[in-house]
Amino acid sequence: MLTPVTRRKTGVIALVRTVALPLLMAFAIAGLCTGPAQAADGDVTWTVRTAANGYGDDRSSYSYTVNPGGQVKDAMVVANRSKSPLELTVYAADGFTTDTGQLDLLTKDKRSTGIGAWARAGRDSVVIKPGKSAEVPFTVSVPGNATPGDYVGGILTSLKQADEAEGINVDRRLGIRVKLRVSGELKPKLAIEDLGVDYAGSFNPFAKGDATVTYTIRNTGNALLSARQTVSVSGPFGWLRAEAGDIAPPPELLPGESWKMKVPVHGVAPGVSLAATATLTPLHTDASGSTTSLKPVEATAHGWAVPWTLLLGIVVLLAAVVGAFILNRRTRARRKVREDARVQNAVEQALRDKEQGRRS
């Protein structure tokens, strides 16, 4: 069940209410656009935005590069747009990519191992009077043994309310994205896993069919990555090559995350043996927003594109030829038997006539 979001140049990804009895949660994450993110439900409304300080005056999200063992101090501004005092819980959580390709944050009861474990708000909760705002400081302390690479999470405000009509609790969350790069050797890398191809032809043995290429993209490096993709299918010796159309890029995947792909390829000739090739060009975006294309990754898998109706026709034709050959041989054999019998009878008759002539 979706709840509407007020978007005033906001950085809201979504304000979603998903029923998971007895807990109902709603959240929004600022960080894609400029401006504050707002959560609104009836008489309760509040916004969050980044504080103006040495990191910037109008940031859409938090972004840092920190050495292992380093520390960052920043703040979030929370404003109460309601007509009554508002008490919010403040905490940090790790981010992850959902099945729809959106950024989500772990709930408070889930264990974080990155930003959610390293970031600590100056206070666990904040009380804000109507029409007022409060600056909530937080510190990100990176462990000395932290693995270099990219981490994504968020600083969250949370409001739990009882919904007596529904008999459930509502946990509404509003937060701002935090992107952190731990200094060290960056090893951006994507892998293609479980590549496969299936073919679906038609009853017309000479018509082309469709292939479906499936695979999993896995981020095996330590950098946040998306990718350009191409997929092709060819017959034996690379003949009868068919290309997939434009393929939407996967979302930016965090290190260790994966994304399943299912790509249709039309106009594939039934060449009996198929070779499906998927190519990824990893795309890495740096802190300045500049995107770099990295060395492509390629994988190939084999499958079958058998023209069954054509094979069936060939089998029927061969059966007819073989049947005609066998029938012809049998016919000739029967004719030979009859001819041999006729000759034998003629010889016997001639011998009888000769014997009779001698007696006469």
Is the per-residue pLDDT at 191 higher than 90?
Answer: yes
98-112, 150-164, 215-229: lowest mean pLDDT where? 150-164
Sequence length of the chain is 360
Nearest to 30, CA basis, from 22, 38, 19: 38
Q: Give the DSSP per-residue string, 268-319.
A: E---EEEEEEEEEEEEEE-TTS-EEE---EEEEEEEEE--HHHHHHHHHHHH
State the CB neighbour count (10 A cutoff) for residue 275. 18
Q: Looking at residues 47-61, what average pLDDT do you find?
A: 93
Q: Residue 111 gets which letter from DSSP? A: P
Residue 294 tokens read as 């990295």
**For residue 95, how many C-alpha atoms fall within 13 Å in the half-sphere facing its CB?**
31
Q: Looking at residues 242-259, what average pLDDT do you find?
A: 95
Q: Are 179 and 63 in contact (CB under 8 A)?
A: yes
φ, ψ of residue 308 in degrees (nearest 5): -60, -40
Is the per-residue pLDDT at 14 higher than 80?
Answer: no
Q: Reduced to 3 states, what is the DSSP secondary structure of residue 25?
A: strand
Q: Are 312 and 271 in contact (CB under 8 A)?
A: no
pLDDT of residue 100: 93
- The C-alpha atoms of residue 358 and residue 115 are separated, in whole angstroms, by 128
SS (H, E, C) 208-261: CEEEEEEEEEEECCCCCEEEEEEEEEECHHHCCCEECCCCCCCCCECCCCEEEE
The residues near 347 (Cβ < 8 Å, ≥ 6 apart) are none
Is the per-residue pLDDT at 22 higher than 50?
Answer: no
φ, ψ of residue 28 in degrees (nearest 5): -140, 145
Q: Give the DSSP per-residue string, 174-205.
A: EEEEEEEEE-S-----EEEEEEEEEEE--SST
pLDDT of residue 9: 32
- The C-alpha atoms of residue 227 and residue 291 are separated, in whole angstroms, by 11
The confidence band for 314, taking pLDDT boundaries of 50, 70 and 90, is: low
**Among all chains, which residue has been given the structure tokens 């790069």?**
181
Estimate to the nearest angstrom the gap between the alpha carbon of 66 and the chain centroid.
30
Is the per-residue pLDDT at 21 higher than 60?
Answer: no
Is the per-residue pLDDT at 11 higher than 70?
Answer: no
Residue 237 tokens read as 């010796």
The pTM of the full predicted model, rounded to 2 decimals, is 0.75
Q: Looking at residues 262-274, what average pLDDT do you find?
A: 90
What is the share, in percent, of the chain residues with pLDDT greater than 70?
81
- The C-alpha atoms of residue 264 and residue 198 are separated, in whole angstroms, by 10
State the CB neighbour count (10 A cutoff) for residue 159. 18
Please report, for residues 88, 132, 333, 339, the alpha-carbon distance to residue 47 in angstroms, rounded to integers and kept in the order given: 11, 11, 99, 109
Residue 309 tokens read as 């109706």
What is the share, in percent, of the chain residues with pLDDT greater than 90?
59
φ, ψ of residue 243 in degrees (nearest 5): -105, 145
Per-residue exposure over 242-262, b if at least 16 CB sit within 10 Å of its own CB, e if not: bebeebebbebbbbebbbebe
